[in-house]
Amino acid sequence: MIRDKRPALEQVTSGLKIAGILVVVCASLLVLLSFLPIYRIEAWAWHWRHGNNVQAGDVTVPVPSEWLVHRSDTGMTHEILLLNTAGGKAFWGTITISVEQPPRKITLTDFASFQQRSMGNLGIKVTTTRQLEIAGLTGLCLDGETMMIGRTLRNISCRLGSNLSIQYVGSSLKAPSFYLILDGIAKPSKG
């Protein structure tokens, strides 16, 4: 090891300058990282690994490239959460797909009645009820909205068949994308 022949005060001053430069570089990196679209990158990586579909029970659900996918199992329910990563706060939206095993014996009329009460209790005004036939499954969607923090928030709750529930919560601007995803649901091809 080579001994530094500079006086101690000069060595300390030099060390403080290096430490100051390191602090500035680290702070700059933290600021830059806060502007990176981390969820967008995560969504891109998910689509690169898994493609543009996700399996939910007996059906395949299309996932547009700007949506990030998270999966979880809670007891007898398999949940898939889709998060919109494009457009910022004005286009915020989440889609929750729940597959219940074993299927519950619930009629669409009972589902509609229960959901209307639940949504009403949350201050969500149901504006539209839609009958669906998707991938051979009959279903029903209740489309409602409420105001939250000065913005109109859409809440769309759908039931397909006996074990598939799909719910959208988010910006009214992203709701049409939810209906496009619903229309793209298909039974997986055999073979």
CATH, residue 104: 3.40.1000.10
**CB-facing half-sphere around the CA of 149: CA atoms within 13 A:** 4
Domain total in the chain = 2
Residues 121 and 158 in one domain: yes
Q: pLDDT band at residue 136, thresholds of 50, 70 and 90? A: confident
Residues 120 and 147 in one domain: yes
Judge whether 118 lies within some domain. yes
pLDDT of residue 33 exceeding 80, the answer is no
Domain that holds residue 100: 38-183
pLDDT digits (tens, 9 = 90+) for 90-115: 678 889 898 887 767 777 788 888 88
Q: Is the dihedral of CA 99, 166, 118, 72 positive or negative?
A: positive
Residues 12 and 102 in one domain: no
Higher pLDDT, 10 or 43: 43
Over range 47-76, report the average pLDDT.
Answer: 87
Residues 130 and 44 in one domain: yes
Residues 24 and 43 in one domain: no
CA proximity to 69, closest of 89, 87, 58, 55: 55
Residues 108 and 179 in one domain: yes
Judge whether 191 lies within some domain. no
Residues 44 and 111 in one domain: yes
Residues 160 and 80 in one domain: yes
Residues 123 and 159 in one domain: yes
pTM of the model: 0.74
- Do the Cβ atoms of 91 and 171 come closer than 8 Å? yes
User: Torsion over CA of 57, 59, 64 and 68, rounded to 10 degrees?
Assistant: 0
Residues 19 and 104 in one domain: no
- Do the Cβ atoms of 155 and 168 come closer than 8 Å? yes
Judge whether 190 lies within some domain. no
Which string of DSSP letters, residue by residue, matches 9-71?
HHHHHHHHHHHHHHHHHHHHHHHHHHHS-HHHHHHHHHHHHH-SEEEETTEEEE--TTEEEEE
Residues 103 and 13 in one domain: no
Residues 97 and 175 in one domain: yes
Q: What is the pLDDT of residue 106?
A: 77
Q: What is the pLDDT of residue 35?
A: 67
Q: What is the pLDDT of residue 16?
A: 77
